[in-house]
Amino acid sequence: MSDKRWESFPQMLSSGLSLQESEDGGEDKMKSIQFPFEKVFPVYAMGFSKPDTDSVANSGYDPIWDAVREEAKLEAEKEPILSSFLYASILAHDCLEQALGFVLANRLQNPTLLATQLMDIFCDVMMHDRGIKRSIRLDVQAFIDRDPACLSYSSALLYLKGYHSLQSYRVAHALWKQGRKVLALALQSRISEVFGVDIHPAAKIGDGILLDHGTGVVIGETAVVGNRVSLMHGVTLGGTGKEIGDRHPKVSDGALLGACVTILGNIKIGEGAMIAAGSLVLKHVPPHSMVAGTPAQVIGSIDEQDPSLTMKHDATKEFFKYVATSLREGRSISGTITFALSSSLYVW
């Protein structure tokens, strides 16, 4: 996309927001604002006062889809060997939902679950679910903003299995809510086989989610994940036994869960909390706190409102300060010294 076109986005946002204010009033708009404009440019995707995704599709104004198409055209010129793949995956489709449905169907197909059947299922769900339309855009923006390895919108759509597994889950979740539980569980099984991510279709997951890498993520049936949450690979939101009912963790908005974090039981992770890599969490975590260790202990507080957006999860300094204080005061720190050397850091 040209520099002039990108530079025009803030002005387009500003004019669009002014129109929305005059129609719906300022109070409702202010309640729905969750992100700074400069971080996420597609206004319709942010939920400003009842986004009308149908009118977006009809008007042809979809900045993320426009960006995906422009990127695909440029990549086809630079790598002619990929031109057929890029045409079939992106350029042959009319909207982001259709392209995503095509990509997911071809990733998840097997000899008895055909790509054409899966594409019909994905497109039918995504084209008629306004919540999913918004979520797939907020999620891809989360990858762009928070994952330094994500080169472009089109690369997230085509190659990142964290994004693929999350959007496939969203379709399975919609099917689960419709009462089509057998089909939802069949999709869950294929998602786990192909992407190495096991999310029960009954789990509830918000918008603007980053599943960085995705490998080994397990999210149980009654787990709840809020908005703007970032989860690294190997995160487990699990139960503690064979009990039934509400038995899985509840992760609040803006939390950051480091690599290989395990959270067990019906416990709450507060807003803006940061769980250091390798931690085992067995009790409630206060909002805007940093916890680390096995079992996890509070070792400090978080200055940022949403650490999931900054992705700063190096707990080393705070953790060793906690260890030193504990040693001076004669408190037991059993099981935490070995953790300090092996799992308080996450390396990109």
**Cis upstream peptide for 295 (omega within 30°):** yes
Q: Domain holding 151: CATH number?
A: 1.10.3130.10
- Describe the chain by its helix, strand, coil percentages, rounded to 5: 50, 10, 40
Got the DSSP string for 80-92?
Answer: GGGHHHHIIIIIT
Read off the pLDDT band of 157 (50, 70, 90): very high
Do residues 86 and 65 both lie within one domain? yes
292 within some domain: yes
Total structural domains in the chain?
Answer: 2
Cβ neighbours around 123 below 10 Å, total: 21
**212 residue type, one letter:** D
Per the structure, the complete domain to which residue 124 belongs is given by: 61-196
Q: pLDDT band for position 306 (50/70/90)?
A: confident
CA atoms lying within 13 Å on the CB side of residue 190? 24
| Cα-Cα-Cα-Cα dihedral sign, residues 113, 119, 125, 131 | positive
Phi and psi angles of residue 69, each rounded to the nearest 5 degrees, phi first: -65, -45
Q: Are residues 248 and 308 in the same domain?
A: yes
Mean pLDDT for all residues in the chain? 81
- What CATH number should be reported for the domain holding residue 254? 2.160.10.10
pLDDT of residue 149: 92
Of the pLDDT bands very low, low, confident and very high (cuts 50, 70, 90), residue 322 is: low
Q: Do 189 and 210 belong to one domain?
A: no
Residue 43 lies in a domain: no
Residue 3 lies in a domain: no
Q: What is the pLDDT of residue 45?
A: 34
pLDDT of residue 124: 95
Asked whether residue 66 falls in the same domain as residue 172, the answer is yes
311 — pLDDT class (breaks 50, 70, 90): confident
By three-state DSSP, how is residue 147 classified? coil
pTM, two decimal places: 0.76
Given pLDDT bands bounded at 50, 70 and 90, which one contains residue 330?
Answer: low
Q: Say if residue 42's pLDDT is above 60.
A: no
Residue 269 token pair: 């992770």
Asked if residue 335 is part of any domain, the answer here is: no
